[in-house]
Amino acid sequence: MPTVILVVAAVLVVVFVAVNFAAGERKVEKDIEHLYGAEDPQFLRSMGLLVGPSILEGNSVRALVNGDEIFPAMLEAIRGAQHSILFESYIYWSGDIGEEFAAALAERARAGVKVHVLVDWVGSARMEQRLEQQMRDAGVEVEKYHPLRWYNLGRLNNRTHRKLLIADGRIGFTGGVGIAQNWTGHAQDPEHWRDSHFRVEGPVVAQMQSVMLDNWVKTKGHVLHGPEYFPPLQPAGEQKAQMFSSSPSGGSESMLMMVLLAITAACKTIDLSSAYFVPEGIARRALVAAAKRGVRIRIVVPGKHIDAETVRRASRALWGELLEAGIEIHEYQPTMYHCKVMIVDGFMTSVGSTNFDVRSFRLNDEANLNVYDADFAARQARIFEEDLKQARRITLEEWKARPWREKLHERAFALLRIAL
């Protein structure tokens, strides 16, 4: 009898792992053919009709660099809200900045503003219960995404990795930051991370609101609508933009397809900032193909300061064919590099929560803002150049000369990450 129980238990474990780590949809398997450039009108049609929501004109997107710029702007928008606040985050931890956000959200709720907070159950594990209770007592609706429940076991590995804040349906924020002390400061030392976030105004904010509300409905079962959430939006600038999202429950392959289309359209340059860069085969092939047709590709990833050493090892195992194709890979030196930005041909810029790995492309709920504007891309390129100055380039010769034990460990971690 004990043997039977052990066998049943083992089967259940295997089934659980399979359900959580295998996507139910067919994967993107075939390479995408290069047919047009990023500045060709056909590229915009493909991005707006084939894979994503409509590209909207009249937007203003401003980059905020590191916590000293990011958090004051977000808190200002929260404190100025008069009707509604929607806030979704993977990480929300206790600490001074967590206290400040909780107090600001609670104050607005007491003032009659409708405040809705959605945090990931895993990502918010280090958030003290008293902060959540402080918000609830003030009238904030606080929900956890996919908490550990028997009916959620099949979704346990599907986390919301999105970072979204929308105030009054008019001002939006997205990017890479979580609510934790690591993101405060100005990347001045290893305890203060380098990251970028983006403040958005204009018609595309309504798309940001819709992305957030999609997960709110999945979690709460309550549809939020009306002028408090979707007011008429006038043009706020001259940038074309779209808010792109993906989720295993509604198109897990869409984010990967968007990224592949952008890489495949590149004719001149790709600058990629990636906190977790573990590209699977089809993504590596797309980058190599772009390099072979003359595209200059530069990638900045974390160096020794990283919050997940296994990710760094898995990443390094996969650099060979990229370096051989002439792709530049640079490791950021001062602190953890948490940016997630891709600039294509000095025209398209994609920013948001998506990492360049299997988890983001197939398992997480992610959200990226795509901006189609040369001036905006030029500003992001200048920020990228500043990051590049503080990064160390890894040569093909150095990569090949790694000790064999290091190579073995890296290959094992890479196989594990890509097999998810």
The residue annotated as part of the active site, out of 144, 214, 340, 357, is: 340
User: Is 389 a residue of the active site?
Assistant: no
| 248-252 mean pLDDT | 68
Active-site residue, from 120, 168, 214, 373: 168
Return d(Cα 376, Cα 66) in angstroms, integer.
Answer: 18
| Tens of pLDDT, residues 350-366 | 999 999 999 999 899 99
For residue 271, indicate whether it is catalytic: no
Query: What is the pLDDT, as a whole number, of residue 157?
Result: 74
Backbone angles phi, psi at 371, to 5 degrees: -115, 130
Region 28-38: mean pLDDT is 86
Q: Indicate the pLDDT class of residue 250, thresholds 50, 70 and 90.
A: low
Residue 6 has pLDDT above 50, yes or no: no
pLDDT at 4 over 70: no
The pLDDT, as a whole number, for residue 151 is 66
Q: Which helix (H) or strand (E) holds 134?
A: helix 129-138
The yes-or-no answer on residue 338 being catalytic is yes
CA dihedral of 338, 344, 350, 353, whole degrees rounded to 10: -30
* pLDDT surpassing 50 at residue 16: no
The pLDDT-based confidence of 9 (bands split at 50, 70, 90) is: very low
What pLDDT sits at residue 75? Answer: 98
Catalytic residue chosen out of the listed positions 120, 197, 338, 373:
338
The active-site residue out of 114, 116, 144, 161 is 161
Looking at residue 146, its pLDDT comes to: 84
Residue 213 token pair? 């509300």
- 345 as an active site residue: the answer is yes
Query: 195, 214, 345, 365: which is the annotated catalytic residue?
Result: 345
* Three-point CA angle 66, 369, 91, nearest 5°: 50
Mean pLDDT on 197-206 = 98
Query: Of 163, 192, 240, 330, which one is the catalytic site residue?
Result: 163
Residue 242 has pLDDT above 50, yes or no: yes
Q: Known catalytic residue: 83?
A: no
Helix orientation angle between 96-110 and 67-80, rounded to the nearest 10 degrees = 10
Predicted local distance difference test score (pLDDT) of residue 253: 78
Query: Domain coordinates of the chain in residue numbers?
Result: 25-418
Q: pLDDT tens digits, residue range 254-267?
A: 899 999 999 999 99
Q: How would DSSP label each residue in 214-255? A: HHHHHHH-----STTTS------SSEEEEEEEE-TTS-TTHH
Is residue 86 within a helix (H) or strand (E), and if so which, with residue range? strand 84-89
Question: Percentage of residues in the chain with pLDDT exceeding 70?
Answer: 90
Global model pTM greater than 0.75: yes
Tell me whether residue 409 is one of the annotated catalytic residues. no
Among the four given CATH numbers 3.30.910.20, 3.30.870.10, 3.40.50.2300, 3.40.50.720, the one describing domain 25-418: 3.30.870.10
pLDDT at position 77, please? 98
Q: Which helix (H) or strand (E) holds 396?
A: helix 396-400
Q: What percent of the chain has pLDDT over 90?
A: 81
Average pLDDT over residues 118-144: 96
